[in-house]
Structure 1
């Protein structure tokens, strides 16, 4: 099966250039690339669609190029932004590039030329400006650039000249990879359509060759929220920024309407199994969410972390029965033996402090279950705070050493946020 058909069937494709020619191009092993901005030292859930698209490409015999923007990161992509991105220092970008290179290698195999990971700073940072304008800039129409959606949005709030150059730099990346690495397919979010098409046009003008583009839909949840965003902030792929347990819980709590779509996009489970699961409701749909959470956590954090997060969720929320004929290709264990307390976010505290007692509203704020003490007061007064499964009746109820069971106590805010406290040492 052609990888393009796989991507279309699983919901990865929003737009593509010349579908028939692209399909023919992908009948043989081909290079393809996606660029990632080094704006932080970790990617987040919003980056999973492009990452997994490259994994599908590799699984079908193609050779991905992961391009980390050490050069373009010095400029900042205006696409999808209402204001200019904060410019990072060279040192910050270099640190982020190294972190992203390490993170992306968890998903894609770079052995034996199966894939490449490159930093566009290698060729962009030493460009000579006048030569670049004469050789590359002359092929770009300002009128056409201003018509691009990424620029048109920003014209209302103000487009900085440094950002205006971004399309030229990304187009040059595509041209450079085509000329030096025989790469003629670029993929990216749908907000990158104008930049991708500009690169295709530059390759045609400079090399007299055809190149191709695929864009992904900008994923939002059924409620309209941006994918990977929560009230607490972004859901990161780094275990240091978002624990595997919290990551697992993010997927368990997705909207019922999103389950089938997310199984297609974020797992590698067979499509025939997913189609059977799409019509399920009630407890069976909840079981699908557990499988979804396990599979995505396994892909991002590995089998062991996924098992620990699943065990912890079972301990906190109880076991969800998963029928053996439901998504049977999943690696989720059917005979799980729970390891108490594994992977639940935990804060150790001194026995002296617990002996004296800590007011509930202060403790909930301290461990991050609430944004502030006032928010914790409101939560408790509204009956949404629990200690070891029992509702906390007073906002200043002391949490004490005697409340710990087998050395730990479980705090819960609402139905989904939990935190464990234990005695130090």
Structure 2
């Protein structure tokens, strides 16, 4: 099975130019391809995973991927898929974001491979040195205004307005493709389906600026949709980031575990490198025993291991098991902090303290009277163990790693006590 057939079976191709020509090119040559990642934050999120993993799929098929960090285009802002102007960041912020994104991509792509090792480039290298007159004379002249207005990325913004700054983004991205074609022999650009207009504009620029007839190609992946109609990659707490400091490996693992049954097989095809045959078997298991959530667990395992590490996966599994069983004391302080990252945290001094006073000080119970009622009624748990002694004193033995205590009030209200 060739790379295009595999992508088609996974539902990962939205559009491609010259299908037969691209298939032959991929069959006959080691193809250099690229995908761009604009540094709009200090971390990629899971919406970036599909294009990043596409580069990895092509690399595994023997081709050479370029991860293009948009240090230059990130100063402008891509209007594609947006309804309003993006807030612009200063150069230092964009440079910092670019470095962080490069580090994350290095966990996914193999930059050390000899034959077709991945390459990271930053378009600030060439866009930053362009003069305005040079850019308008040598590049801008190849773009008709009517041609640009007809592109979806521009059309969708005309009603609400688009600045000249964002209007030029298409030309800058086209310049990237031309530059990589000339200097890296890059003949294929991939991206999300909202990038189709930018990709085809780049192909046209290459043809117009080349003396000989050239063959370059574009391929887009579909934008991810969820069966329930909500936006993919968003939770109540916001985006699901690849940075473990922004979204912990445990939260990342749980996000995939909680995938809707209607989406899990599709996501296994999109996000994992499991064979289609194995995914089909997981689909049968989902049909026969949906309560076991076997495909969901496999999806969470594969993605957590890929984005973080085997160790992070094992830790996420330990946290999940401990929280499910209520055996909180099995966790160390770091695991406890990760597992309860999104619950209210109360900082307290390290001292022996009556449980009644602690519940009030930590805003767990509204008053001492309520605290005593909660304890007597069996509603208070310390590190997973019910505590009904009104005279109980919180002391060192209740602090995991001498720092953290988990208090549960009722069935679902958790509090993390951080003793300083």
TM superposition score normalised by structure 2: 0.83
Number of equivalences: 382
1:26-41 equivalence runs, <5 A: 26-27=26-27, 28-41=29-42
- What is aligned with 2:61? 60
What is the Cα deviation at residue 31 of structure 1? 0.2
C-alpha change, 1:358 and 1:131, in structure 2 (3 Å) is same
1:205-216 equivalence runs, <5 A: 205-207=208-210, 208-216=213-221
Does residue 147 (structure 1) correspond to residue 140 (structure 2)? The answer is: no
Match of 1:340 among 324, 327, 331: 331
Do the aligned residues in 2 keep the contact of 1:410 with 1:421 (CA within 8 Å)? yes
1:18-167 equivalence runs, <5 A: 18-27=18-27, 28-111=29-112, 112=114, 114-167=117-170
The structure with the largest alpha-carbon Rg is 2
Does residue 350 (structure 1) correspond to residue 349 (structure 2)? The answer is: yes
Per-residue CA deviation, residues 61-117 of structure 1 (Å, 9 max, x unaligned), is: 100000000110111001111111000000001111111111111111112361110
- What is aligned with 1:9? 9
Do the aligned residues in 2 keep the contact of 1:32 with 1:186 (CA within 8 Å)? yes
For 2:134 and 2:231, the matched residues in 1 are separated by 41
Unpaired segments ≥5 residues, structure 2: 366-373
TM superposition score normalised by structure 1: 0.82
Do the aligned residues in 1 keep the contact of 2:84 with 2:157 (CA within 8 Å)? yes
What is the Cα deviation at residue 43 of structure 1? 0.2
Do the aligned residues in 2 keep the contact of 1:16 with 1:215 (CA within 8 Å)? yes
SS of 1:162's equivalent in the other structure is helix
Match of 1:401 among 389, 394, 401: 394
Do the aligned residues in 2 keep the contact of 1:36 with 1:67 (CA within 8 Å)? yes
Per-residue CA deviation, residues 34-53 of structure 1 (Å, 9 max, x unaligned), is: 00011111100100001111
What is the Cα deviation at residue 340 of structure 1? 3.1
C-alpha change, 1:358 and 1:116, in structure 2 (3 Å) is same
SS of 1:184's equivalent in the other structure is strand
- What is aligned with 2:371? none
C-alpha change, 1:339 and 1:228, in structure 2 (3 Å) is same
What is the Cα deviation at residue 10 of structure 1? 1.6
Aligned-pair Cα RMSD in Å: 3.1
Unpaired segments ≥5 residues, structure 1: 320-337, 365-379
